[in-house]
Amino acid sequence: MGDDKARLYGLIYTGHVLAREVNDSVKLYYGRARDLALAAKDYRALTAIDNALAIYTSEMEMNYLGGLSYFMEALKYAELSPDKQAYPVVLNNIAMAHYLRNDPNGLKYSLQVVDIGTANGDPLLLYSGSFVTAYMYYYLQGDPATALRYIETALAVGGNYIEYAEAYSLYANILAGLGRKSEAERYYKRAVAHVGSEKSNTLAYLNYGSYLMANGSVGRATSVLEKGLEFVNKRNNAFYRYQLYEKLSEAYELAGRPQRALDYYKKYHAEFDSIFNIGRERAINELRVQYESEKQEKELRGKELDLLRERQKLNITIFTVAVLVGLLAALFIAYRRKNQRYRQIVRQQHELIQKEKTIKELYSQSEGGRKYTVSSLSDEKGQALFSEFEKLMRTEKIYRRSDITVDKIADRLETNRTYLSRAINENSGMSFSQYINSCRIDEARHILSETDNDIQIKALAYELGFATPETFSATFKRSIGMLPTKFRKEMRRMYNDAQETN
């Protein structure tokens, strides 16, 4: 029995050593170790094996879906393992795997990691979970206010647990998204200052370069991105290198250096395919062989083709003209249909606004009422809380505040954030942030429908509590179906047409 256990952990250790680089023997050793662990029902070992296989498959083979599959197996064994630290460690790795794939499904795992890290006083779990949660909320949920809260929690951990280049870079992105550009610039520089002292440095270059390019500093952006590429090439981190190639291609294009931009664009595509489309290598090789065969045949028929080229040029010209005419016709039809659709949306919104005004007048004459009645009557407290919440939105228009959070509203209503969030969801079918944005968009519709109100879109965005005009425009388009500038234009056109008809 003792010999089997020694052999089992010897195989695991050998697998760990080999897994430091790509090696065909890694999975062989881990596979033999798994057979022994299954026979012995050693769940601690099974957790370690599948967790290690997941990391190797993700980082060395660049197969993140395969890695997630191993992580899920490891999580199953971790629940049965006597080592209670195994479960949160695997859970954290799953959250990180989703983060690397930009997969929003990782949010539920990172939130669990935060809860476990807080409950156990584990700074590493608290930092890692908070960092991934901040990333998910900012990039994948479009909620910079919540993301800010979590990244500040991550930075508050302090000590050796923080990858400062990575954390400061994300913090800077969130600050920039909230319109706090001077602070963002400061933290981008802090992130770059930590490069070389930690393992997660590439994002500092990537995010800072992207920020500079977005703000018109193309020369500085190119310099930062080139430094990042030099850094990542020394460490052969292919996952981030392809993103640097992409940004460098964009930067050189903006700088008016098309050949340099094209070179990096080719590198970007080559790297991207090697990471995310490894299965296509065989098809690409087949296409290459086919291309070479066709090329030889074309050389043999070269003289015949020379005689046909002039006729082909003429045919191509005729075909091109026909295609252009058809394309222009299709674009014109699409344009007309799009305008018709916009006008239909505006008419519907105009009718809806009139109905809302009528309902509002009737509502003001009554003693109460409720906008939504989704929850059951048995939850009278939840309905009462939601009614108070609605009243606060309606009378004080507190949704206009850019720093509004569910915690602040909960304090105002003398309740807790969990109960308030549930009351909002059950009575409106929306989350807190969705409800706040719906109130903002409702008021925006009314303001933009007023023909005598010439408030600028940028000013309106800030007045309604949005962090940036871009966020306002994107939210408005998702809700209404067109940008706010187009909505105002079509609404005024409708009023002018009505006046001319009258």
**44 and 122 together in one domain:** no
Q: Are residues 260 and 356 in the same domain?
A: no
How many CB atoms are closer than 10 A to CB 29?
Answer: 21
Identify the domain containing residue 125 by its residue range: 84-161
Give the pair of three-digit tokens for residue 436.
Answer: 């706040």
Residue 454 domain-assigned (yes or no): yes
Does residue 77 sit in the same domain as residue 89? no
Residue 304 lies in a domain: no
Say how many domains are in the chain. Answer: 4
Distance CA 207, CA 193 (A): 14
- 248: three-class secondary structure by DSSP: helix
Beta carbons of 484 and 473 less than 8 angstroms apart: yes
Q: Is residue 57 part of a domain?
A: yes
Q: Are residues 379 and 484 in the same domain?
A: yes
- The DSSP 8-state label assigned to residue 136 in this structure reads I
Show which of 81, 116, 151 is a domain's final residue.
81
Q: 284 and 184 in one domain?
A: yes
d(CA 439, CA 466): 12
Q: What's the pTM?
A: 0.48
Rounded to an integer, what distance in angstroms lies between the CA atom of residue 193 and that of residue 211? 16
376 and 260, same structural domain?
Answer: no
pLDDT at residue number 309: 76
Q: Where are the alpha helices (DSSP H) in 366-397?
A: 380-396
Q: How far is CA 177 from CA 138, 214, 250, 434, in A?
A: 9, 12, 20, 18
Quick: pLDDT tens for 35-92: 999 999 999 999 999 999 988 887 777 777 788 889 889 989 999 999 888 999 999 8
Residue at which a domain ends, from 161, 195, 216: 161
Task: Tell whether 484 and 344 lie within a shared domain.
Answer: yes
On whether residue 452 sits in a domain, the answer given is: yes
Same domain, 71 and 107: no
Residue 294: its pLDDT value, please? 45
Give SS3 for 143: coil
Residue 328 lies in a domain: no
CB 56 within 8 A of CB 19: yes
Indicate whether 377 and 485 sit together in one domain.
yes
Q: pLDDT of the chain along its 502 residues, tens only?
A: 567 888 888 888 888 888 877 778 888 999 999 999 999 999 999 999 999 998 888 777 777 778 888 988 998 999 999 988 899 999 988 888 887 777 788 899 999 999 999 999 898 889 989 999 998 998 888 899 999 999 999 888 867 767 777 888 889 989 988 999 899 889 888 887 776 554 456 777 787 888 888 888 889 889 988 888 887 777 655 567 888 888 899 999 999 999 999 999 988 888 776 555 544 434 333 433 343 344 455 556 666 667 677 777 777 878 877 777 777 767 776 666 766 676 777 777 767 776 666 666 665 555 444 444 444 444 688 889 999 999 998 889 999 998 999 999 999 999 999 999 999 999 989 999 999 999 999 999 899 988 888 899 999 999 999 999 999 999 999 988 889 999 899 888 888 887 777 6
Q: 345 and 475 in one domain?
A: yes
Residue 403 half-sphere exposure toward CB, CA atoms < 13 A? 3
**CATH classification of the domain holding 438:** 1.10.10.60
- Tokens for 345? 């949306």
Of 161, 192, 219, which one is at a domain's C-terminal end?
Answer: 161
DSSP 73-98: HHHHHHHH-S-TTHHHHHHHHHHHHH
Identify whether residues 52 and 126 lie together within a single domain. Answer: no
DSSP state of 98: H
Which one-letter amino acid corresponds to residue 189?
A: K
In a domain, 301, yes or no: no
Give 224: exposed, middle or buried? Use CB within 10 Å, 0-12, 13-18, 19+: buried
Looking up residue 143, the CATH number of its domain turns out to be 1.25.40.10
- Please tell me whether residues 148 and 202 are part of one structural domain: no
